[in-house]
Amino acid sequence: MLLLACGDRRAAVCPACAERYRRDTWHVVAAGLRGRAPSVPGGPDAVPDSVAGHPVVLATLTAPSFGAVHRAGARPCRKRVGPLVCEHAMRAWCDERHGDGERLVGRPLCWDCYDYSGHVLWHSAVPELWRRTVIYTYRALARLGSARSGIPITVRTVREQLRVSFVKVAEFQRRGAVHLHAVVRLDGVAGEGVAAPPAWADSALLEDAIRDAAGRVAVSLPVGGRVARWGEQLDVAPIADPARAASYLAKYATKTAGDVLSGLPPRRFGRREVGRISRRVDNPHTMLLVLACLRLSRTPECAGLRLAEHVHMLGFRGHFATKSRSYSVTLGTLRGVRRAWRARERAERVGAADPWAGQDEGTVVVRDWRFVASGWARLGDADLAATLARDHAAMRDAEDLVTVARAGDLW
């Protein structure tokens, strides 16, 4: 029997593997912002330093309002405007100043006013909203580029000269809706490699184009002629500190909805488990979203949205972290490079080739593996692993402190 790391991205499932995933994600994001030297000779993980000169922004796209919720912050939660109560006789205002950790934050002022179906349906449209936002960004680059330079630039020219590269992560907010944080970079088009974009395409143009695209994009939903759009709150800003931006994105890459909405499991669950889950979820808002998702999943109109498979993400079926092909190295490449580096290091240390590297002639490769189980066979093993993981984490934190002190970086 061979023990392997599970490799799970989610900190709620496996803290050790998630920590590695977070660090790898950091490298993927950072490499796309400042380039990357190959870590093994001729490594496939190299990204040219010239990317540091490309126009790049950090964009945050938000969900629209599905109903007033309690907000944390220094200002009073909800001002009195209009009627004092809603049609369900619930108070329509709140003059408290909520702290971040308060249970009330993210919960609606009125459960009946809150549009639970709209929330879940919007989640189901987020991947398509993003896909169209990228397409609309190309169009906006042509339109705004023409207006600025005075030379007519067609969408076709833009596609021939520019590529919109990105890496993005999803963040669940307290109200249970996702935000997308995306690093968006403009590249020139030159075969497979990464080239500098033409001079007319600068950061300011990219910023305006994303704002324009996010404001226009819409996806029609299968229920009641509804349309999904981004929320009004849109943040697009240049990136001053690549390491900080990379940390910011990497932090969200290991999260699940349950990290914010406590009690919500990180894995898929069905109708029969709702009773058990509702005992662990102390927030009625979360349960109402779960029930809305389950209810919609049974309607014929929503059959294509695969809601039943994504109840644990409240209907959001996108990936938590994705990147366009040419943005940077892939996580798979980083893993491959790490394997190669380890094999080399072991060979130098032990003086023998690593049979797992499998490159030597005459190595017999056994491919007949069968999955037995995940977890530990004995309690003693589990205990030992937990102790080692703790020590390891403490060591990593100490190393991080040293690095921070030395480089002034975030880690």
Q: Would you count residue 88 as binding Zn ion (CB under 5 A)?
A: yes
Using the minimum distance from each CB to Zn ion, give the nearer residue, 94 or 153: 94
* Phi, psi torsion values for 82, nearest 5 degrees: 70, -155
Q: How far is the CB of 375 from Zn ion (least distance, A)?
A: 10
Distance CA 162, CA 197 (A): 6
Within 15-74, the residues that bind Zn ion by CB under 5 A are: 17, 70
Distance CA 273, CA 286 (A): 15
Q: How far is the CB of 219 from Zn ion (least distance, A)?
A: 27
Within 112-171, the residues that bind Zn ion by CB under 5 A are: 112-113
Q: Which stretch binds Zn ion (CB under 5 A): 57-65, 79-87, 140-148, 382-390?
A: 79-87
For residue 327 the two structure tokens come to 């943005």
Q: Would you count residue 175 as binding Zn ion (CB under 5 A)?
A: no
Q: Would you count residue 389 as binding Zn ion (CB under 5 A)?
A: no
Q: How far is the CB of 392 from Zn ion (least distance, A)?
A: 12
Q: Which stretch binds Zn ion (CB under 5 A): 4-12, 22-30, 245-253, 320-328?
A: 4-12
Q: Which stretch binds Zn ion (CB under 5 A): 109-117, 228-236, 251-259, 295-303?
A: 109-117
Q: Would you count residue 386 as binding Zn ion (CB under 5 A)?
A: no
Residue whose C-alpha is closest to residue 327's, from 169, 133, 183, 127: 183
Q: How far is the CB of 108 from Zn ion (least distance, A)?
A: 8
Using the minimum distance from each CB to Zn ion, give the nearer residue, 112 or 391: 112
Q: Would you count residue 94 as binding Zn ion (CB under 5 A)?
A: yes
Using the minimum distance from each CB to Zn ion, give the nearer residue, 131 or 335: 335
Q: Would you count residue 6 as binding Zn ion (CB under 5 A)?
A: yes
Q: Would you count residue 86 as binding Zn ion (CB under 5 A)?
A: yes
Count of chain residues binding Zn ion (CB under 5 A): 14
Q: Name the helix (H) or strand (E) containing 306.
A: none
Q: How far is the CB of 151 from Zn ion (least distance, A)?
A: 52
- CA dihedral over 373, 375, 380, 381, signed as positive or negative: positive
Distance CA 29, CA 242 (A): 8
For residue 8 the two structure tokens come to 């799970």
SS3 content of the chain, % helix, strand, coil (to 5): 45, 15, 40
- CA dihedral over 112, 114, 117, 120, signed as positive or negative: negative
Q: Which stretch binds Zn ion (CB under 5 A): 86-94, 121-129, 279-287, 363-371?
A: 86-94
Give the 3-state DSSP-derived string for 146-178, with helices as H, strands as E and coil as C.
HHHHCCCCCHHHHHHHEEEEEEEEEEECCCCCE
Radius of gyration of the chain (CA): 24
Q: How far is the CB of 249 from Zn ion (least distance, A)?
A: 21
- In a 13 Å sphere around the CA of 157, the CA atoms on its Cβ side amount to 13
Using the minimum distance from each CB to Zn ion, give the nearer residue, 256 or 326: 256
Name the amino acid, one letter, at 226.
R
Among 31, 47, 56, 77, binds Zn ion (CB under 5 A): 77
What angle, rounded to 10 degrees, do the helices at 379-407 and 15-34 form?
30
Q: Which stretch binds Zn ion (CB under 5 A): 3-11, 154-162, 175-183, 398-406?
A: 3-11
Q: Which stretch binds Zn ion (CB under 5 A): 35-43, 94-102, 209-217, 274-282?
A: 94-102
Name the amino acid, one letter, at 32.
G
User: Tokens 């977890």 label which residue?
Assistant: 375
Dihedral angle, C-alpha 365, 370, 374, 375, nearest 10 °: -60
Using the minimum distance from each CB to Zn ion, give the nearer residue, 97 or 271: 97
Q: How far is the CB of 35 from Zn ion (least distance, A)?
A: 30
Q: How far is the CB of 230 from Zn ion (least distance, A)?
A: 25
Among 10, 11, 14, 261, binds Zn ion (CB under 5 A): 14
Distance CA 172, CA 256 (A): 8
Q: How far is the CB of 5 from Zn ion (least distance, A)?
A: 5
- Check residue 82 and report its DSSP letter: S
Within 319-338, the residues that bind Zn ion by CB under 5 A are: none
- Check residue 310 and report its DSSP letter: G
Answer whether 169's CB lies under 8 Å from 249's CB.
yes
The binding site for Zn ion (CB under 5 A) comprises: 5-6, 14, 17, 70, 77, 86, 88, 90, 94, 96, 110, 112-113
